[in-house]
Each structure stands twice: as C-alpha cells, then as structure tokens.
Structure 1
Amino acid sequence: MEAVEDIVIVGAGIAGLTTALGLHRRGIRSLVLESSDGLRATGFAFTTWTNAWRALDAVGIGEPLRPQHCQLFGLQTTSTISGLSTADRNFDATETQRGHEIRCVQRRTLLETLANELPSGTIRYSSKVVSIEESGYLKLVHLSDGSILKAKVLIGCDGVNSAVATWLGFKKPAFVGRSAIRGCVFYEHGHGFEPKFFQYFGEGVRSGVIPCDDKSIYWFFTFSSSRKNEEMEESPAKMKQFVLGKLGKIPDNVRAVFEKTELDNIILSPLRFRPPWEILWGNISKTNVCVAGDAFHPMTPDLGQGGCAALEDGVVLARCLGETLREKQGMGSEEEYKRIEMGLQSYAKERRRRAFELISTAYMVGYIQQSNGRVLNFLRDRVLPSFLAGQLLKMTSYDCGKLSAS
C-alpha cells in the first residue's frame, strides 16, 4: 500500500522534532518516522548554549523549559594532573545581558516537550526506513513493515547512520579514535554544586560535570580508544571502574558524582564526525531531499554544539520550506517541485558554512584539550585556557533567526 505525504521526516530526535514543530508553527503538516517504539533520549542531557535558546524560543518552547533547568553562570577548568584551576570565567550580569544563556537540558524533557506540541499522529513509531527510490517528482520511502510512503519532501534526521545521508552520497562518519562515557545522577536532597560548567583535563582524557537542576547532574568522560577499551562496551560496571581510575586529582565532591552514578545511567559511545571537506562539497540537499542534525553534521562533543546545531537546523529548515510552501499555486506540479528544490538549496547554503566551522573548531579544540604530550599539556593548561573558553562562547553568538523571514 502506498500513501502520499507532503513532508516526511526520518527520525524523531532533536533535529526531526524541531523541524516538524517549526513547520507546524507555519501551518504546515509533516509526518515523522521513528524506528524505535518510543522517543529515544540517548546521552541523558546536553549543554544548551545561547544559540540553542534562540532556536527554542523560535519554535515556542524556550519558556516552559527554562524553569526546569538552572542557568549556569560560570565556566571552570581544572588540570587533573596538578589539581589546580586553569581558568575560572564567571558570566557576570553585564555579560548575561549581552545574551549569554547556558543550561544543561535533559534530552528526554526536551524531546517530550517538542513532541507534546505536535498534532496527534505526527510521529509514527516502529517505522524503520530500509530504502529510498525515485518516482517522478516523488521519493518512495520503503519501510521495514513492507509499506511505502510517497514523499513530496524527504528530510533525513536519522542520525550518524542515516539512510537519507547515504542516498545523498555522504560516506559513513569517520571514527576519531576517541570515545565518550556519559552518565547522570540524581540527589534526592540536592547536590550542592554551584551553577557552573566544570571541566577537567588530564593526560589524554577530558571530563565534565554540569548541573541540570538542583537535584540532577550530568557528566561526561572522553578518552582515546584502544582494543582494551572494547571490553567495556557491554559492561557499565567496567565503564564506571575505568572512569574512576582515570579521574586524577579532582575535588572529592566531584569524584562522588561518578561514584554515586547507578550502572543503568551510564553509556559508552564512539565519537564520530563528518570530515569538514565533505560538508563543503557534499550534497546537503538534492532535488526534494535534504539532511539535518547528526545525519548532516556529526561532530565531536568538544564544543557542546551538536544538539544546539540540530535545533538551529530545524528552525532554518522550517523557515526555508515555509517560505517555499506558502505559495499554494501550482500544487503538485513541476512548479511546486522547483520551489521545493530552491527552498532546500537555500537551507543548504545557509547551513553549510556554519556546519563546517562547528565541525572544524570542535575537532581542533578536542585535539588540544585531550592531548597527552608535554608541550600540548603546557599550552592547554597555561597558555590556552582563555582562548579555548572564548571559542566555546564565540560559537554561541550565532542566531538562526525566526521562523518567518519577515
């Protein structure tokens, strides 16, 4: 059986749901296909910088999310080799007024908020895409249950293993030789941490502790992978033991965060990215197909901008498609498909340079931060802390704009 849909979005993650909600705000219906049987919140939480809050406000969910997550008013970095602070940057009132807004948002809370704002039936679960083919102006989306959807617009928000990105000609994202262990911990009576982003750097490792609210803390630990590390992949207990053995000189209350984490709240992920030159020369869009989020620009987490960039994608894509589809003349004709193609090209043009800069800068910052040589360690701890902190803030000044071009 074949059904015709105007806009099919593959993947109910951050990029997919933001795009769907942005289109909904413009009065345009879409269908979101999710391969799982429910919303997935892999990774527990992520840092939302100023640029992300602009995107969240654009789709109308910034205000309900803010009270649920504390605002961070500082960034502190510490060497786990010496145990000494290398940088301590407070966002004072003047700086905050200029637009800095940083919070650590729980992924499930964000996804549920996005999904709850969408019309009933927008998300179709247990719908895995197995292949894509062309049929005139339409794209035929074949699902694992044997059904076929005919799409006027196909948007791939299906992560690093994106079927849509593959159809567009992108290669599989490259493994960078590092992995991340992430976790979250809940303190029934409050954790007592200041509302700051705490980062710790050692020889070849990097970790961070970030309060989400008064009772929840998100943490991460990135390290250079080896065959020995592969033994941990199926064992949260081994992951936890590995992290605790590599933390170095950190405050007791920070170490307690890792010790207190339940095994069910620990995951390991290899870090992958799309080489920047593929972003410059690849097909972000082609005819009536495009990609967004990790399907478009998988990057290392060293700037904390992966989820933020996915939110930006959703707003820009919804705006570009909204401007294209507001014209009702020629619906179903060659004229309409030319407008769709031009709208997606506008999206690709607007997002290409931004994605290139984010991927390149994240890789560079990660290389310096997670170095294990004497020279790079010295530069990281003594010379570059302010520069690296500045790079984090620089990337947050981007404004994806409103849903309407006017």
Structure 2
Amino acid sequence: MVKKVVIIGAGLGGLAVAIALRKQGIDAQVYEKAYSLRPIGAGLTLFPNGLNSLDAIAPGIVESLEGAGSQTRMLNLRKSTGELIAQKSVTFMEKYGRPMLQIRWSRLQEILASALPTDAIHLNHRCIGFEQNNSGVEVCFDEGETVQADLLIGADGLNSAVRQALIGDGSPRYAGRMSWRAILKYSHELLPPNEVMSMTAPDGKIFGFFDLGSGYLFWSAATLAPDEFVAQSAIDVKSRVQEKFSGWAEPVQAIVKSTAAEDIIERPISDRLPLQNWSQGRVTLLGDAAHPMVPLLGQGANTAFEDAWELSQCLSSASTIEAALASYENSRKPRTQVIQIRNAVQANRAYKADSETYLRGMMEKAQVSDAEFEEWLYNYKPSVTADLK
C-alpha cells in the first residue's frame, strides 16, 4: 500500500516517524529546511508516555537517552524572593516504570538521527507545497526540486508549511506571553543535580531551571506581554531579560549574567486551536504541525512520539491509505485535544497575577485532583495496533 513516504521536518517527531516507518520496510525520507542539524538552546522533558513510545519505535533507545540526560527526583517551587513555597518528590519510576527525564533537545535529535541512514535525511530543502492525485503525491521545494511519494507527512512544527497548504488556517495564535531560554554549562548551590526549580512572582512572571546532566543546565523564563515584539539584537535580548527579572533572588541574576547574549533565544509563546481533520487524501500531519501546545505540561515532543508510533501501526495494518489515516486520526485526536485544551487553560491560569497561589495549589493537589489525569497521561503504552486511547 505504501512504499515511499516523504516527511517534512527533521525535528523530533519527523525523525521518530521515519524510524518507525523504516522498521515497517517503508522507504521514509526526511526533508528539512535547515542547512544543518545544529544545536539549539533548548531542553525538554521526556515523560513515561513519550519514553514508552520511543521504546516501541526503537527498542534500546531509552537506555541511551537515560545516559544522555538527567532523571528528575525533586520539583521545587519558590517565590521570586527565594522563599520556598512547595517541594515535591518525583516518583514516576515507581509509578510508571519510566523516569521524568530532562535532556538537551539537540542531543535527542542527534540520537534519533543516528538511527537513520545518512542518505534518508535531506537538508536545505524548504517545502513550498504539494499536489496529489489517486496514485501519489508530488512534494515541491523552493529550489524547484520535486519528489514523488505515496504519502506526505507534515512534521514541520508550529509554522508548518504542509499544514498551511493542507488546511490554510493562517498564523499561530499568540498566547500573550514572551519567553526566553538558553542552555549552558553551569552549577550553583541552589540547583542540585536531578532537580527542577521554578520561581514565580505575583506579576505573572516565571523562571525555571532544569538539570540536563553532564554539567548542562537549561533555563527558561516567561512573562505576560501585550504584543509579540522581539528584540533586534542579542545584546538587547539579554538586556530585556535582565530588566524583566531585575531584583529576583539568586540564582536568577547569576545565571542570566553567566549566559552569553547570543545563546539566549527569545520567542513569543503561541499555539493553535484543535483541528477537525489532520488529513486529506495522501497527506497528514504529526506532532506540533497537528496539535501545537504552549509549553506547560511538556507534552509536545511526547505526544509527537505517540503519533509516530500509532501512524506507523495504522499504515502497517490498514488496507488503504485513507483507512490508515482515518484510524490514525480517530486514535490520536481525542487524546491530543484533551491535552491541548488542558494545557492552554492551565498555562493561561499560571500566568495570572495570583500565579504563586495557583501553582502552589496545583502542586498540593497533584496527587488528588489531578491523579486521574496524570494516570491517563503518563500510563500510555503503545499497542501493536493503534486502538483508541
């Protein structure tokens, strides 16, 4: 039914689905607009549901990831003044058999890319559209090159070119918050290994610190902002962070000072409304291209890995492409829509003026009011056939 698949985007979801499809004997080719797979200043959290999916896609890969990251043992919440508000032990390993794993985004991308043949990843290819008929799909790139395939998967993120050609729903929705992030080799007595710390203030600002292992630390900051204005130079970006978080207790001041200006990434936080359909004919979407989320629950990459596994299973078991994509959507949409909506609502609430009280309440109630959601979210286990989750 499917012999060749073109995947747009060499991010985490695109690489994962390529690995999963090639395990099925399908010629999966990844096309990426970037000139190289270079390191970016971001860390991410892998949860049990994402790790279970990766283990199904590439058995043994989780062990490699655990050796490349940091397994979080403790969550700490402090006021911007430094006062400890709440502390919670992380017991994911005991509950779900998988850790809460912090890892560099670029290191994870590198590990996934190494599981593919080098000639399966094509850099410097910007997708500008596609044409399809009953026999196949032709993918078009900006240099005039075209590629034929049986199926096209858009795994090209929040600003997906495939989504725009397929759905045409315009620009992402600005969530009213600006963010800054960076990775650096750094240590501080207030930031022990295998711990995550968040600091919050009553004016809707949050600053987080994540141990990534091997001496690396990821920090992420965000604040309410009326518009999407982005500073024009690296020096201006760093100055903006220092101004926004002026007066905050350590280790905020020390870590921002220690971070090179050119390593700080400034981005508006955006998402999109859930879609009614992800697929048309021989084209479908995956990961952030299908269901982008604001970064609160940390499920962007994890749900992309779920998508990758289930799409590969649907394509291996259905009699037609249309049936496979229908099964994929029926399985994935209900689950991702719940996560998208809950994520958006909680993120909006977390940045209100009383965020300190709200976040403390979330942590205190996590084992009670959120227990059922947590069980449903993290206890996801891939099946041989993609059933409705």
Query: TM-score normalized by structure 2?
Result: 0.88
- Quote the offset at 1:243 in angstroms: 2.2
What per-residue deviation string (whole Å, max 9, x for no partner) do you get for residues 298-339 of structure 1? 110011111222222111112212223xxxxxxxxxxxxx61
Residue 93 of structure 2 corresponds to: 96
What per-residue deviation string (whole Å, max 9, x for no partner) do you get for residues 265-320 of structure 1? 110111111113xx3xx221122211001111111001111122222211111221
- Asked if 2 retains the 8 angstrom alpha-carbon contact of 1:157 and 1:293, the reply is yes
Instruction: List 4+ stretches of structure 1 deviating above 3 A.
Output: 40-43, 187-192, 245-251, 376-379, 381-385, 387-396, 402-406
Q: Structure 1 residues 136, 214: closer, same or farther in 2, change over 3 A?
A: closer
What per-residue deviation string (whole Å, max 9, x for no partner) do you get for residues 96-147 of structure 1? 3212511211111111111111123111111111121223331221111212
What per-residue deviation string (whole Å, max 9, x for no partner) do you get for residues 71-108 of structure 1? 1011111222x54323211125xx53212511211111
Residue 110 of structure 2 corresponds to: 112
Residue 331 of structure 1 corresponds to: none
- Quote the offset at 1:19 in angstroms: 0.2
Distance 2:124 2:211 in 1: 33
Distance 1:68 1:5 in 2: 34
- Quote the offset at 1:43 in angstroms: 4.5
Residue 345 of structure 1 corresponds to: 326
Q: Secondary structure at the match of 1:212?
A: strand
- Quote the offset at 1:251 in angstroms: 4.6
Q: Secondary structure at the match of 1:366?
A: helix
Residue 294 of structure 1 corresponds to: 288
- Quote the offset at 1:191 in angstroms: 9.1
Residue 185 of structure 1 corresponds to: 184
- Quote the offset at 1:166 in angstroms: 1.8
Q: Number of aligned residue pairs: give it.
A: 378
Tell me the amino acid that sits aligned with residue 87 of structure 2.
Answer: D
Residue 313 of structure 1 corresponds to: 307
Residue 74 of structure 1 corresponds to: 74
- Quote the offset at 1:401 in angstroms: 0.2
| Match for residue 386 of structure 1 among 352, 364, 374 | 364
- Asked if 2 retains the 8 angstrom alpha-carbon contact of 1:141 and 1:150, the reply is yes
Distance 2:279 2:113 in 1: 25
Q: Structure 1 residues 284, 320: closer, same or farther in 2, change over 3 A?
A: same
Q: Structure 1 residues 248, 87: closer, same or farther in 2, change over 3 A?
A: farther
Q: From the two aligned structures, give the one with the greater helix fraction.
A: 1
| Residue 140 of structure 1 pairs with residue 131 of structure 2 | no
- Asked if 1 retains the 8 angstrom alpha-carbon contact of 2:191 and 2:197, the reply is no
Distance 2:241 2:383 in 1: 42
What per-residue deviation string (whole Å, max 9, x for no partner) do you get for residues 15-71 of structure 1? 110000111222222111111122255452111122121122122221111111121
Q: Structure 1 residues 190, 31: closer, same or farther in 2, change over 3 A?
A: farther
Q: Structure 1 residues 234, 178: closer, same or farther in 2, change over 3 A?
A: same
Query: TM-score normalized by structure 1?
Result: 0.85
Distance 2:346 2:25 in 1: 41
Tell me the amino acid that sits aligned with residue 93 of structure 2.
Answer: T
Distance 2:150 2:375 in 1: 38
Q: Structure 1 residues 136, 59: closer, same or farther in 2, change over 3 A?
A: closer
- Asked if 2 retains the 8 angstrom alpha-carbon contact of 1:159 and 1:294, the reply is yes
Q: Structure 1 residues 157, 148: closer, same or farther in 2, change over 3 A?
A: same
Distance 1:205 1:404 in 2: 43
| Match for residue 285 of structure 1 among 279, 285, 288 | 279
Matches within 5 A, 1:227-376: 230=229, 232-247=230-245, 251-276=249-274, 279=275, 282-324=276-318, 339-372=320-353, 376=354
Q: Secondary structure at the match of 2:157?
A: coil
Q: Structure 1 residues 249, 319: closer, same or farther in 2, change over 3 A?
A: farther
Q: Mark the runs of 5 or more structure 1 residues left unpaired by the alignment.
A: 325-337
Tell me the percent identity.
Answer: 26
Tell me the amino acid that sits aligned with residue 69 of structure 1.
Answer: G
Q: Secondary structure at the match of 1:238?
A: helix
Tell me the amino acid that sits aligned with residue 386 of structure 1.
Answer: E
Q: Structure 1 residues 143, 79: closer, same or farther in 2, change over 3 A?
A: same
Tell me the amino acid that sits aligned with residue 212 of structure 1.
Answer: L
Q: Mark the runs of 5 or more structure 2 residues left unpaired by the alignment.
A: none
Residue 225 of structure 2 corresponds to: 225
Distance 2:74 2:154 in 1: 36
